[in-house]
Amino acid sequence: MSLNKYIFVTGGVCSSLGKGVAASSIAALLEAQNFSVRMLKIDPYLNVDAGTMSPYQHGEVYVTDDGAETDLDLGNYGRFTTASYSKDNSVTTGQIYEEVIRRERQGKYLGKCVQVVPHITDEIKRRIYLIGEKPDVDFTVVEVGGTVGDIESIPFLEAIRQIIHEKTSQNALSVHLSLLPVVSCGEVKTKPTQHTVKAMREIGIQPQVLICRCTEPMEPEQKKKLALFTNINEDAVISGHDALYTIYEIPINYWKEGINEAILSRMGVTQRTPDLSKWQTIVDTLKHTDKRVRIAMVGKYIQLEDAYKSIDEAVRHGGFENKAKISFKKIDSEEAEKLSDEEFAAQFDDIDAILIPGGFGERGINGMVKAAEFARKNKIPFLGICLGLQIMVIEYARNVLGYEDANSSEFRPESPHCVVSLLEEQVDVTQYGGTMRLGLSESRIGKGTKIYEAYGTESILERHRHRYEVSNRYKQELRDKGLIISGMTPDGELVESVEWPDHPWSTGVQFHPEFTSRPTKAGPLFREFVKAALEYRANRKQSPNTAE
């Protein structure tokens, strides 16, 4: 019999404290005890989904199997737990109001005055229960985006207050994440945390567990002081200090801090000893390995750390499987366009592989094309994802086919050689949200290719998020000039992956393999990409003309 219990994770003081990792780590601990766990992300913004939001505003867009464009925290959920995630696991204010207004227009409220309470809060609760009341679910961990005190989150917190009241504190529990800042004199201050807990209590929610983000482990006196002023038992004040090696050691840290017992004892559940061996293996690998690779990521959203979150993590997963530490050199493709050839080449002096991630719009495209050309000609391991594949094709058309004006119709629709173009059904699209090729779909892989060596099968399933494709008008000409089209859609119509001829390791894919990569089982392409980078590094170090 399932438990159907709820854990609500909120944040205070400031944003970007790591609520997603905290919530995921709690879920990972529960899962490590053989509890059935699901996760749900609540985003208070008015957008219906994250699909049209700039990476500068909100980080990457994470795509689920069923094609939902969601917040990047669902990527954390997928990496820390084994549960599957869909559109039901992501809730936004836009979705809530859209549904309530739709019902009002259909007369479903029988002429009542539609209000935030109870109609909006009831719809929020319905979305939460849609996940949590399933017969196979023990715990549902719900993360509420934003910061307590934001006007946008008030309806969600009110709905959570109602759930905790209705279900009782044994079945619904509040975990609050806060910041312990360090002032100029080096003293750790607890006052902001006292105030954020006070704000939660004013809403009607008494947090039962408090996680304090800090750089160093908390002192017992700090825990005692916070317990006194927040009405939270001292054993439930948890030090959320920085991890030493990787975010994947946080479940281990939380276990040592006693968060497992703090949560389960308050929910009337007997604690089980968790199996944390998979997380410990990752920590031990990073702690003891002396193998390192340096990856250049050439993209247009480099300034924001979270813009390529899943790719960053997937490359690190590839490092885990190859027992290697990964470091990144993020190169702004727009700035790279301004460099001379000598300055551009110097950017890659200490690089073992090059990766071009996804993106939209013309800005910085020529810098990426230049990076692809550099990787192809200098035989540097290369991985192109989504836009990265299209860049490979554009570069090849310009420099091998001889079409100097080759481009994508996304960037230069007037170009006579648009080797990348819209699908016919996309030409007249005027609504951009949710209209791309989205979600899990099949690719057929050719034997004898690098991608086949990685996956070991002729049929793979990966998630897509794109609107433009390699133009079929140029497909045969590209093949005739040596470009290896290593993957196609099952109907043989659309290009799914390409490789360069006479190159040690190069693969471009139209899909997003980063979304299915896990720390305990790296995506095959990332595993092989890092392996190729290690080989390139070893050869580079042996070269008499190469200075390390």
Kindly list the catalytic residues. Answer: 386, 512, 514
Structure tokens at 440: 């899990």
CA dihedral 384, 388, 389, 391 (to 10 degrees): -130
d(CA 160, CA 157): 5
Half-sphere exposure at residue 252, Cβ-oriented, CA atoms within 13 angstroms: 17
Q: Are 456 and 450 in contact (CB under 8 A)?
A: no
- Which residue, 344, 409, 406, 354, is CA-closest to 384? 354
H helices present in 408-523, as ranges:
450-455, 475-480
DSSP string, 308-326: GHHHHHHHHHHHHHTTEEE
- Which residue, 404, 399, 401, 430, is CA-closest to 416? 404
Q: Are 143 and 73 in contact (CB under 8 A)?
A: yes
Q: Are 363 and 338 in contact (CB under 8 A)?
A: no
Burial classification of residue 448, based on how many CB atoms lie within 10 Å of its CB (0-12 exposed, 13-18 middle, 19 or more buried): exposed
- Which residue, 402, 318, 315, 301, is CA-closest to 359? 301
d(CA 18, CA 197): 17
d(CA 258, CA 274): 12
In this structure, what DSSP letter does residue 521 have? B
Structure tokens at 380: 């540097």
d(CA 421, CA 94): 31
Q: Are 68 and 86 in contact (CB under 8 A)?
A: yes
Name the 3-class secondary structure at 258.
Answer: coil
- Which residue, 110, 64, 98, is CA-closest to 83? 64
3-state helix, strand, coil in the chain (%, to 5): 40, 20, 35
Q: Return the number of other C-beta atoms located less than 10 Å from residue 224's C-beta.
A: 11
CA 402, distance to chain mean position in Å, is 38
